[in-house]
Amino acid sequence: MATIAEQSQQLAAERGCDPYDILNEEAAEIPIGSDGLVLLDHFQGNRTPYSDSRSRGVSWACR
C-alpha cells in the first residue's frame, strides 16, 4: 500500500532533506487557482469553526 507523498519521502531520503521541502518545491510549481481545485482541510476535525471530531473535510474541482 502506498502512503501519501511516498515518492517525496524517497526523494528526500536520496537528497538528505525533509520530505516537506520536496512537497513545498512541487507546490511552488502549481499556478494560483489550481484549475478550480478546492480543498477544505478538516480531515482531523480541527481548524473548524466548531470543535467537531467527526468533521472530515472535502475536495472538489470547479469547472
Residues 25 and 38 in one domain: no
What is the pTM (predicted TM-score) of this model?
0.50
Residues 25 and 39 in one domain: no
Provide the number of structural domains found in the chain.
Answer: 2
DSSP state of 41: -
For residue 36, the enclosing domain spans: 32-63
Residue 1 has pLDDT above 90, yes or no: no
Residues 22 and 40 in one domain: no
Distances (CA, A) of 40 to 25, 48, 57, 58, 61: 22, 9, 5, 5, 12
Residues 25 and 36 in one domain: no
Residues 16 and 40 in one domain: no
21 CB-near residues (< 8 Å, 6+ apart):
12
16-54 pLDDT, tens per residue?
999 989 888 988 888 877 777 777 666 655 555 666 666
C-alpha cell at 55: 468533521
